[in-house]
Chain A
Amino acid sequence: MQKYSIFNLVKNAFSNHENWDLAWKDPTPKEEYDVVIIGGGGHGLATAYYLAKEHNITKVAIIEKGWIGGGNVGRNTTIIRSNYMHDENALFSEFGMDLWRKMSQDLNYNVMFSPRGIINLAHSDAQMNAYARRGNSMRLNGIDAVLLNREQVKEIIPMADFSENVRFPIFGGLMQPSAGTARHDAVAWGYARQADSMGVDIIQNCEVTGFDVTAGKINGIRTSRGNIKTKKVGLCVAGSTNILAEKLNMTLPIETHLLQACVSEPVKPILDRVVTFGAGHFYISQSDKGEMVMGGDLDGYNSYAQRGNLPTLQHVLTEGIAMMPFLSKLKMLRTWGGIMDMSMDGSPIIDKTHIDGLYLNCGWCYGGFKATPASGWTFAHTIAQDRVHELNAGFSLNRFSTGHLIDEKGLGTKTWIS
């Protein structure tokens, strides 16, 4: 594989950049693979990469219905953080933070990781107390957390509404300085390029139509481009999890819901952090192009549409304007939606299943993007070793029966309530 470097950049400039290698191939599916990963999104691509890199398993195929990076890895708001209270989520995400820091070097691909910090705003004394508690839990798990008072927040984001008579005054906030953003497409492409170079077949425009299961064991999959034999299948399909589960006669603690995001027209640099509104559900950051990147609530009813509805967008942006009034002057450039695999306790599932050789990776809710490296790493371990790693041991499928829920937000099973 051609290394991306300043020397190669200069060298290729002389030939008008017409002689670069393709970043990944377009192979036809082989008859058999050691492992088949279904879903060529961030998690699927990362899983294949870590299977090859950490476990030396390279006879791997990624089967993608559309094109790689066309789903949620290209539709999120690029936020990376590990500001969780519960041990399972905190340790898993913090492990991921370390992978994020090394990712550009590791993949030889600039993922533009920008640890600019995230601030969760608090709008009452009670919320300050809750954030102090969460911050303490984070610090006990080795994660950086700083509790900010009103004046400190004002110094960092003076453009927020600090006037006296607002409905939700800013009391302070909880900051994780090491959190940040990354360029989401680059993450997908970087993993794809490295996985491909180590021998992984990335098979696009190939839909999985069925599974061959005999005597509780997986023997292969059926696709729109023929049958593929394999003893191990990893499911990494986010919002389409239930569609494939139905083909396996499985009913999962997952509902598919639609989440929207949007960007404004590009403006000069004004916001150099990620900020979330604490009296509702709204988050914002500014991209390198200058667009304000915003998102918030689910549309609120089961949906596979990948396209949103205006009442939710209006509701979310009303919160945004309450927090940062200057947003009302901006024009909207683009809005879009992605379908989320909402789990019943808000935490993910990375586990084996009752079918031998079938592994499940789903339930990412609002937080799939930031989990990409840690999810791929632990899922690859689970598939390669046929047992869960201690980092994903808590993300078991049977925790819903045994009562070991990881209910980070205390929302219960109504996934559409935020």
Chain B
Amino acid sequence: MLHIKCPYCGMRSQNEFSYGGDASVKRPELNKEISDEEWDNFVYNRKSLRGKHLELWQHLSGCRQWIKVERDTATHEIFNTYKADEEIS
């Protein structure tokens, strides 16, 4: 079982969280000409990396906050967790 450190609540079991997918995907900016390709990349296309993967989770059965988790998709090691609006260097 994964143990995810919620930045608001601390270390909790995976059972309290729900998954939100790749966190590196950015919605195309508003008020700007957007190509079909940009929309495709936002809606459908995913890198689905093997190894370090930055992803969204929601602490659904806890504080209900969305967070970012940096996790290895092959070993499931969790390197770091961030608040959703936190800048990641």
Please give the residue numbers on chain A whose beta carbons come within 8 Å of chain B beta carbons, in ascending order: 242-243, 246, 251-256, 300-305, 309-311, 344, 400-401, 413-414, 416
Residues of chain B within 8 A of A311, CB atoms compared: 1, 14-15
Given the interface pairs A300-B19, A301-B19, A303-B76, the reply to whether A242 lies near B14 with Cβ below 8 Å is no
Which of B2, B15, B19, B41 is the most central at the interface, judged by chain A CB atoms within 10 Å of its CB?
A: B19
- The number of A-B residue pairs with CB atoms under 8 Å apart is 71
B75 at the interface (CB under 8 A from A): yes
In the complex, A401 Cα to B47 Cα: how many Å? 17
| CB-CB nearest 8 A-B residue pairs | A253-B44, A242-B48, A251-B45, A400-B44, A304-B74, A255-B48, A304-B50, A301-B19
Inter-subunit contact B21/A254 (CB<8 Å)? no
In the complex, A301 Cα to B70 Cα: how many Å? 12
In the complex, A348 Cα to B41 Cα: how many Å? 18
In the complex, A391 Cα to B55 Cα: how many Å? 36
Inter-subunit contact B45/A253 (CB<8 Å)? yes
Which of A243, A252, A304, A310 is the most central at the interface, judged by chain B CB atoms within 10 Å of its CB?
A: A304
Inter-subunit contact A256/B48 (CB<8 Å)? yes
Inter-subunit contact A302/B14 (CB<8 Å)? no
In the complex, A401 Cα to B48 Cα: how many Å? 19
B73 at the interface (CB under 8 A from A): yes
B49 at the interface (CB under 8 A from A): yes
CB-CB nearest in chain B for A253: B44
Residues of chain A within 8 A of B21, CB atoms compared: 255, 302, 414, 416
In the complex, A256 Cα to B49 Cα: how many Å? 9
In the complex, A251 Cα to B74 Cα: how many Å? 19
In the complex, A302 Cα to B41 Cα: how many Å? 18
Interface residues of B in 31-45 (CB under 8 A from A): 36-37, 40-41, 43-45
CB-CB nearest in chain A for B13: A311
In the complex, A400 Cα to B42 Cα: how many Å? 12
Residues of chain A within 8 A of B41, CB atoms compared: 251
Inter-subunit contact A309/B73 (CB<8 Å)? no
Inter-subunit contact A254/B1 (CB<8 Å)? no
B46 at the interface (CB under 8 A from A): yes
For residue A10, give the distance in angstroms from its CB to the closest CB of chain B. 49
Residues of chain A within 8 A of B47, CB atoms compared: 242, 246, 251
